[in-house]
Structure 1
Amino acid sequence: MTEQHTATRALTTREVVKPTPADLMEDTGTGLDFGTRPDRLPGHLTPTDRFFIRNHAPTPRLDPTAWTLRIEGGGVRVPVSYTYDDLWSRFPMISVVRTLECAGNRRALFAEEVGARFEGTQWGRGAVGTAEWTGVRLRDLLEPAGITSRACEIMPESLDAVRARRPMPLAKALADDTLLAVAMNGEILPPDHGFPARIVVSGWLGAASIKWVGRIEVSERPLHVPWNTRDYVLIGPGHPPEGTPITGVPVSALVELPWPGRLRPGPQIVRGRAFAGERPVVAVDYRIDHDPWRPAVLTTPGTAGAWARWQFHWNPRPGDHVIRVRASDDQGRSQPDSSPWNALGYCQNAVLAHPVMVG
């Protein structure tokens, strides 16, 4: 068991700030991690009050007047520091709509799929959400420091109790949509979502979007930390003994019904979301029981880094049914019938058999 998982599982008290009522969010039992109920998603964006929380330590309470961001390391010519006011007054702001998903999303369903229990947060389907993030492009903050010609990795570091951190390649850090965000859905970042500032890394696993950032290291060599060597790596067949660090997340789909679902008989619309990480979703198909696969309708266009919405009409008869949904991205990758096994239960993306009782 990793150090992060040991610390998480040892907690018995709730250590987040915002309310997490059961009618909006799913309690994983760690005191730190709360998922969004899929049947409580009213629009394209996930409301902030029900956006999932994934913490490695209790939510820190930080004073923006005392906060600074340091950019330093062997990969810069001159270390620089910024205050919270600097972010608002010295740099252009942009807004992007991006989906964040924990690599461990659906871990509990993965365990059911393979008949074994995985360590780590026992997520259902709720460790995914989409928001409008507003902030400064990370490259604009890095530029005054003078990136050296040999710089290869950028590593944001959190101000939480465990100093969560995860490196990314320089090219990803300099991308147009890699941000240091200060606002979420048009409001100042809430404490649980990274106030005063957090990284948003488009299309990558949620662990790369470090919250409560206080330091960014620029390195001329690859960086190895627990978050890319012991956690958030794929260990198993097809991977080296030390594991493969997870970057982008695989294509998957979500039905906006409880598990199991309950519906009335008669004509109705079944809705959901599909996400493919760095790639856009271009198609979603559905299957009822043993019927043939049919195309669902995409009601919002798939874009790189953000989920697409889909729906289909159904006139169910009373009784027990199973809905299966399969999403595909623009590279022709679709959800498999079974998830590739890995020791830590990451990246479950097999087609789910969603039970639904109609009566």
Structure 2
Amino acid sequence: MKSFHSDTMKPTLKTLKLIPENKETPIHFLRNWITPSEYFYRRNHFKYPEITPQSFLLPIYGHVEAPLVFHHSYLKSMPSKKITMVLECSGNKRTYFEPKAYGEQWEDGAISHGIWKGVTLKSLLDMVVVKHGAKEIVFIGHDKGTRTDMEGIFHYARSLPIDVALQPDVLIAYELNGSTIPYEHGYPLRLIVPQWYGMASVKWLKEIQIIDHPFKGPFQTVDYVYYPHKANDLDARPVTNIKINSIIQQPLDYSILDTGTHEICGIAWSGHGSITTVELSFDNGSTWIKAKLSVDPKQKYSWTFWRYLWNVQKKGEYTILCRAEDSSGNVQPFEAEWNKKGYGFNAVYKVHIKIE
């Protein structure tokens, strides 16, 4: 059996942009259950913020009975929780949309898998006592800058519906993979929202505001919205949970291999449940063969590794298709739902192989 992984070479992050810094995880060359922190993808809208003493204070105010300011050290003294989860940019795989969508042309690496530790957001909201009639929780980051489509200085800010914010696994995190959150990933405090695309997990958390009306910030109502029509904004809806998805890590697209047995391996994930099936097709989808899954049933927000041993004796060109299904019955479609901003690409994955 041929192996596609080397123990002597080390991959690197792939740079899409330096300012603001946007870099992909070398996802095709990692078989780590937990993505090492140095290989976590980086998605920024602005330059990195300056860390000051104010950065260690977290005010929670607004539609509450008892507004409070929490210090970083106090949060670390509270009962903690760990969550192992997929973190994926909603623009992951944007480059595959046809017609093309404007934005960072992510390929497969705007995704990582880590262990986050912090306090539950619910425990903090219980302390400030959210008033009746609260509708959304707004999370404002320290990172700020200008936009090309409107005037002014904007902080990165997003909101969650109150029912989502109160879910027991939403965290105010201060650790990643057993160490302090790296500066590049939101130090000292970051919101962590399992099963939602990464735009919800606000970095460098500055303040939390409870409101009794819909939040209208540009990263809520302009960006991170599915616009299914090119000519207008009809049928727009917000980007929320991660769609069912998968990739073939190895072999790489347009690889040249010899005859024999090869391991085809990859990852599958979903924000709507656990992965139940991964299938491969070698005849353009006429028939499908199940791959072997590697699942941790205790980690409900984790990705799933899969593998299949492919014995090929006939020379020629092949297209290998891959699709996943989750516990909610979602199956990867043959075509992703096109949208103007290029979010949520999750079409059946394919690689082209030549056997010589």
Does the pair score TM above 0.5?
A: yes
Structure 2 partner of 1:83: 71
Is the 2:59–2:67 Cα contact (8 Å) retained in structure 1? Answer: yes
**SS at 1:161's partner residue?**
strand
Residue identity in the other structure for 1:325 = C
Residue identity in the other structure for 1:158 = G
Q: Over residues 185-234 of structure 1, what are the superposed CA-to-partner deviations in whole Å (9 max), with x where a residue is unaligned?
A: 11110011110010110100110000000101111111111112111101
Residue number among 308, 312, 319 corresponding to 1:312 in the alignment: 308
Residue number among 336, 339, 343 corresponding to 2:336 in the alignment: 339
Residue number among 205, 212, 235 corresponding to 2:204 in the alignment: 212
Residue number among 249, 255, 262 corresponding to 2:248 in the alignment: 255
Distance 1:26 1:320 in 2: 29
Aligned counterparts, 1:198-209, within 5 A:
198-209=190-201
Distance 2:206 2:117 in 1: 18
For structure 1, which segment, 204-213 or 137-146, has the greater mean C-alpha deviation from structure 2 after superposition? 137-146
Consecutive unaligned residues of structure 2, counting only runs of 5 or more, are 1-8, 146-154
Q: Over residues 235-271 of structure 1, what are the superposed CA-to-partner deviations in whole Å (9 max), with x where a residue is unaligned?
A: 1259963721111121010111344445454223221
Is the 1:166–1:227 Cα contact (8 Å) retained in structure 2? Answer: yes
Structure 1 partner of 2:26: 37
Structure 2 partner of 1:296: 291
Alignment coverage as a number of residue pairs? 333
Residue number among 48, 60, 75 corresponding to 1:59 in the alignment: 48
Distance 1:230 1:340 in 2: 18
For structure 1, which segment, 100-109 or 290-299, has the greater mean C-alpha deviation from structure 2 after superposition? 290-299
Distance 1:201 1:64 in 2: 26
Aligned counterparts, 1:112-191, within 5 A:
114=98, 116-162=99-145, 163-191=155-183
**SS at 1:39's partner residue?**
helix
Distance 2:255 2:115 in 1: 29
Distance 2:340 2:86 in 1: 25
Is the 2:243–2:344 Cα contact (8 Å) retained in structure 1? Answer: yes
Displacement of 1:154: 0.7
Structure 1 residues 64 and 294 mapped into 2: Cα distance closer, same or farther (>3 Å)?
Answer: farther
Is the 1:94–1:134 Cα contact (8 Å) retained in structure 2? Answer: yes
Structure 2 partner of 1:107: 94
For structure 1, which segment, 340-349 or 54-63, has the greater mean C-alpha deviation from structure 2 after superposition? 54-63
Distance 2:256 2:200 in 1: 36
Structure 2 partner of 1:285: 279
Displacement of 1:50: 0.8
Structure 1 residues 211 and 264 mapped into 2: Cα distance closer, same or farther (>3 Å)?
Answer: farther
Residue number among 4, 10, 16 corresponding to 1:28 in the alignment: 16
Is the 2:272–2:326 Cα contact (8 Å) retained in structure 1? Answer: no
**TM-score of the pair, normalised by structure 1:** 0.87
Displacement of 1:288: 2.2
Residue identity in the other structure for 1:29 = K
CA RMSD in angstroms, aligned pairs only: 2.2
**SS at 2:353's partner residue?**
strand
Residue identity in the other structure for 2:339 = N
Matched, 1:92 2:84: no
Structure 1 residues 132 and 321 mapped into 2: Cα distance closer, same or farther (>3 Å)?
Answer: same
Is the 1:234–1:344 Cα contact (8 Å) retained in structure 2? Answer: yes
Matched, 1:47 2:36: yes
Distance 2:303 2:226 in 1: 23
Consecutive unaligned residues of structure 1, counting only runs of 5 or more, are 1-20
Distance 2:180 2:207 in 1: 20
Distance 1:185 1:203 in 2: 18
**SS at 1:192's partner residue?**
helix
Matched residues, percent identical?
Answer: 30
Displacement of 1:65: 7.5
**SS at 1:204's partner residue?**
coil
